[in-house]
Amino acid sequence: EQINKGKYEHYMQKEIHEQPESLTTTMRGRLIRGGSCKAKTVLLGGLKDHLKTIRRSRRIVFVGCGTSYNAALAARSIVEELSGIPVTMEIASDLVDRQGPIYREDTAVFVSQSGETADTLLALEYALENGALCVGITNTVGSAIARHTHCGVHINAGCEIGVASTKAYTSQIVVMAMLALAIGADTLSNQARREAIIDGLFYLPRKVKEVLKLDKEMKDLAKLLIAEQSLLVFGRGYNYATALEGALKVKEVALMHSEGILAGEMKHGPLALVDENLPIVVIATRDSCFSKQQSVIQQLHARKGRLIVMCAEGDKASVSVGGSSRVIEVPHVVDCLQPVINVVPLQLLAYHLTVLRGYNVDQPRNLAKSVTTQ
Ligand code: G6P
């Protein structure tokens, strides 16, 4: 299959814009939403012989690097909610550095777009030695991680060429949401919640298509931010990962210092940075953290913060403060899938910032698509 840029100027741009299709492919054949008497459910063929063991595990450990780690973080709480199993997060190199405890009763999930990242592979070897059940979530059939894990799920996002991962990120989140649904499939008390998420998955590609219409708005925002030295992104709950991932995109390709910050930690340091110059993105879409984020906005505003607020469509009035902040309205979806929507404007912002600043979008300096050395 010949991969070309088609009508796009860069692979990263193409990969951002093809997310409605890549997400559809990720879910193809895996969502079952039958007739009236047929339950809505998910089918992950690669896991079917291991689901019982996963359900019995004492702990689920997510392991990854870079964007793949962020995707796992975005899915963490829905996996905890639907499985009832504690989920811990490990950056692959850190797990190996610490030789952190991994037990036979653990399910260790290795998330990697390429399936070849050296740090993740080393962590996999370590978890295998310690007897954990090892699950791979990769985009590359036949990759080392796919081969060496006991079972797994391919994300089927299609070949990703831009060094900065975009479509693989959203597909990874969707696969891990499906993993949560599969693990929790037998729990009656969660049935309505599971069905709402399955409905949300069906509509997700359509909603991503809608959010991509913000392209021009994000280009305008990039023009405003072109000469900045730094950008902060505040998120919490499901969207703490979005803050980390948005900041990572800006850092990787636009070569601008950017930091994702857990809004709950605002008072414990980051607040000292706030002034009228430093641009700050605050993610305040609708979920159980919304009112807390409203209060974060108030507090940042009180310190004259230069705010760019991301909110759900129709919520502009509830997040605007004193007419000084800029607002990005995004489509609303079920809370645990909102990170898939919210990351898109930030991907677009990073892309446009890079082009406007004249840097190499697809091959950022010093970075590699797949880091196969330690
Ligand atoms: C490199 C890439 C990142 C990627 C990370 C993990 O740093 O530049 O885009 O997120 O590796 O890669 P993986 O293939 O394991 O997801």
Ligand 1 centre to CA of 113 (Å) is: 7
Query: Could you tell me which of 358, 155, 349, 154 has the C-alpha nearest to residue 242?
Result: 349
Q: Is the pLDDT of residue 2 over 60?
A: no
Query: Could you tell me which of 175, 76, 161, 69 has the C-alpha nearest to residue 123?
Result: 69
The confidence score (pLDDT) of residue 368 equals: 87
pTM: 0.97
What interhelical angle do 191-211 and 19-27 show, nearest 10?
A: 150
- Asked if 316 and 343 count as a contact pair (C-beta separation under 8 A), the reply is no
Rg (CA), the chain: 20
- Asked if 60 and 86 count as a contact pair (C-beta separation under 8 A), the reply is yes
Q: How many residues does the chain have?
A: 374
The DSSP call for residue 1 is -
Q: Is the pLDDT of residue 140 over 50?
A: yes
Taking residue 125's Cβ as centre, other Cβ atoms within 10 Å add up to 12
Ligand 1 centre to CA of 205 (Å) is: 24
Tokens of 138: 């990769």
CA 110 to CA 61: how far, in whole Å? 8
Tell me the average pLDDT of the chain: 95
**Cβ neighbourhood burial of 1 (10 Å; 0-12, 13-18, 19+):** exposed
Q: Is the CB of 67 under 6 A from ligand 1?
A: yes
Q: Is the pLDDT of residue 1 over 60?
A: no
Ligand 1 centre to CA of 206 (Å) is: 27
Q: Which is more confidently placed, 368 or 50? A: 50
Phi-psi region of 131 (alpha: psi -120 to 50; beta: other; left: phi over 0): left
Q: Is the CB of 68 under 6 A from ligand 1?
A: yes
Q: From the alpha carbon of 164, which atom of ligand 1 is closest?
A: 9
Share of the chain above pLDDT 70, in %: 97
Ligand 1 centre to CA of 369 (Å) is: 6
Q: Is the CB of 165 under 6 A from ligand 1?
A: yes
Q: Is the CB of 136 under 6 A from ligand 1?
A: no
156-202 pLDDT, tens digit each: 999 999 999 999 999 999 999 999 999 999 899 999 999 999 999 99
Segment 112-137 mean pLDDT: 98
Ligand 1 centre to CA of 75 (Å) is: 18
Q: Is the pLDDT of residue 40 over 90?
A: no
Q: Is the CB of 117 under 6 A from ligand 1?
A: yes
Ligand 1 centre to CA of 297 (Å) is: 32
317-367 pLDDT, tens digit each: 889 887 667 999 999 999 999 999 999 999 999 999 999 999 999 999 899
* Residue with CA at minimum distance from ligand 1 atom 5: 66
Q: Is the CB of 370 under 6 A from ligand 1?
A: yes
Of the residues 11, 62, 68, which should be mutated to test ligand 1's pocket, given the most ligand atoms within 8 Å of the CB? 68
CA 29 to CA 235: how far, in whole Å? 33
CA 296 to CA 270: how far, in whole Å? 12
- Kindly indicate the confidence band of residue 35, based on its pLDDT and cuts at 50, 70 and 90: low
Q: From the alpha carbon of 367, which atom of ligand 1 is closest?
A: 8
Q: Is the CB of 120 under 6 A from ligand 1?
A: yes
Question: Chain-centre distance of CA 172, in angstroms?
Answer: 7
Ligand 1 centre to CA of 216 (Å) is: 28
What percent of the chain is helix, strand and coil (3-state, nearest 5)? 50, 15, 30
* Residue with CA at minimum distance from ligand 1 atom 8: 369
CA 138 to CA 171: how far, in whole Å? 10
The confidence score (pLDDT) of residue 320 equals: 85
Ligand 1 centre to CA of 293 (Å) is: 30
Which are the contacts of 98, defined by CB distance < 8 A and separation ≥ 6? none
CA 315 to CA 312: how far, in whole Å? 6
Question: Chain-centre distance of CA 332, in angstroms?
Answer: 16
Q: Which is more confidently placed, 264 or 365? A: 264
The confidence score (pLDDT) of residue 169 equals: 98
Segment 300-320 mean pLDDT: 94
- Kindly indicate the confidence band of residue 271, based on its pLDDT and cuts at 50, 70 and 90: very high
Of the residues 165, 360, 366, which should be mutated to test ligand 1's pocket, given the most ligand atoms within 8 Å of the CB? 165
**Cα separations in angstroms, 227 against 53, 221, 254, 351:** 52, 12, 11, 15
